[in-house]
Amino acid sequence: MILVKTDSPQSPSGIEVSTPAKSGISLKQIVKIALGVGLIAFLLQKTGIENTFAELSRANLWYIPACIGVYLLAQFISAYRWKFLAEALDFRVSLRELYDYYLIGMFFNQFLPGAIGGDAVRMFYLAKSAQRKKREALLTLLAERGVGLVTILLLTCLISLAPSISAVGWDITPGELGITLQNSVFANFHWDIVLTIKALSLLGLLGYIALLMTPLQRWITRFPKLALLGQARTYWANMPLLIRSITVSTLVQALMIGIHLLIAQALHLNVPPLQIALIYGMVSLISVLPLTQGGLGVRELSYQLLLAKVGVNPNTGLAFAVYWLAISTVTSLFGGLILLKGHYKAPTPQEEAAMIEN
C-alpha cells in the first residue's frame, strides 16, 4: 500500500480518498521477518518471558511520553536536514510536507513490511510533489541516510576513545550468542565491535579522500550514464553543506542518545551515560546489517549482549530493548494518523511497479 497526496476537486473538501494499491512481499522479506521473529522468540525463551515482563512491570512507564516527544522532535530535525539536502539539488518542498513524508515512511517500515519500504515511499512522495525524476529524489534520500550513518559512526568512534569505555571488554564470542563451537577452529573466535568501528571510521575517511580526488567529470564524459554522480558530488564536495549536515545530524543523534538515557532511568539502571551512548551507536550500526526486516531481533539481541558488558542482567537488557521497541512503534503510529486524514491516495499499479523496479 502506498498513498500519494492529491488536491482533487472531486469532493467538497478538495480531497480524494482512494483504495490503497496492493503490493507484494518477496520470499526474501518473508525470510527476514521470520528470522527476526524467531530471534525475538529465542531471546524470550532463553531469558524467560515472565522475567522480562517482570522487569518491565517495575519500570517507570511515565518516561514513555517524554521519549516519544523527543523522538518526534528528532524526526522533525531529520526532516529539516532532508529539506536542505534536497534543496541542494533544487527540490522545493515545504518542511511540513517532508516531515509528513518522514513519519509516513516510519509507519511503512514498522507496520507494512511489503515490497515498498519507507524510504521508497519517501522517494515517491518527494519526486511526485516536486515533479522530478525518482532517481533524483533517491539521491536526496541516500545523502540524508548516508550523512546520518556517517555521523553515528564518527560519534561512536569518538566515544569509544574515552578511558571509561576502553576499560570495558566489548568483544562478542560465539558462546554469548548461544552457539557451541567446541573442538572447532572457531572456538576461540571473538568479534571486537569497538575495533571494527574504528576500522570502519578510518576506511570511511580514506573513502572520502578518494572521492575528492576522483576525476569524476572525466568519467562522466566517457560514460554519460554516470551523469547522476555529477549531481551527487554536491553532497561530498560542498564543504559548508557537509559540515551543516553533520552538525544537524549530531543534534539528532544527541536526542536519540537522550531517549536511551531516559529508558535507563525508567528501568533504574546505574550505567554511565557514555556507555549508554556507545551502546546506542553500536546497536544502530549493527542494525544496519540486512539480516532481518528493520533489524528486528538483531537489535534486541545486540542490546542484551552489549548491556551485559556493563553489568546489566539479561532480563533487564531485553526489557531495555522492548522498551525502546515500544517507543519507536508508538511514534511510528503518527505516520498512520497522517494517512487517516485522507490527504493521500494510492498511485497507479504502473507507478508502484516502477518504484519496485527502481
pLDDT digits (tens, 9 = 90+) for 42-84: 888 888 888 888 888 899 989 999 999 999 999 999 999 999 9
Neighbour-count burial of 99, counting CB atoms closer than 10 A to its CB (0-12 exposed, 13-18 middle, 19+ buried): buried
pLDDT digits (tens, 9 = 90+) for 264-281: 999 999 999 999 999 999
Query: What pLDDT is attached to residue 8?
Result: 36
Q: Name the grid cell of 80.
A: 529539516
Query: What pLDDT is attached to residue 110?
Result: 83
CA dist 134 and 124 (Å) reads 6
pLDDT digits (tens, 9 = 90+) for 343-352: 765 445 555 5
pTM: 0.84
CB atoms within 10 A of CB 294: 17
Quick one: CA torsion of 61, 65, 71, 74, rounded to 10 degrees?
A: -140
Is the Cβ–Cβ distance between 335 and 105 less than 8 Å?
yes
Tell me the helices (H) and strands (E) count for the chain, helix number first. 15, 4
Query: What pLDDT is attached to residue 328?
Result: 93
DSSP code of 22? P
Task: Share the mean pLDDT of the chain.
Answer: 83
Query: What pLDDT is attached to residue 213?
Result: 86
Query: What pLDDT is attached to residue 168?
Result: 80
Is the Cβ–Cβ distance between 248 and 80 less than 8 Å?
yes
pLDDT digits (tens, 9 = 90+) for 17-32: 333 344 456 777 788 8
Q: Where are the beta strands (DSSP E) in 196-349?
A: 344-345
Instruction: Enumerate the domain spans of the chain.
Output: 35-114+133-180+190-339
| pLDDT beneath 70: ranges in the chain | 1-25, 113-116, 174-176, 178-189, 344-358
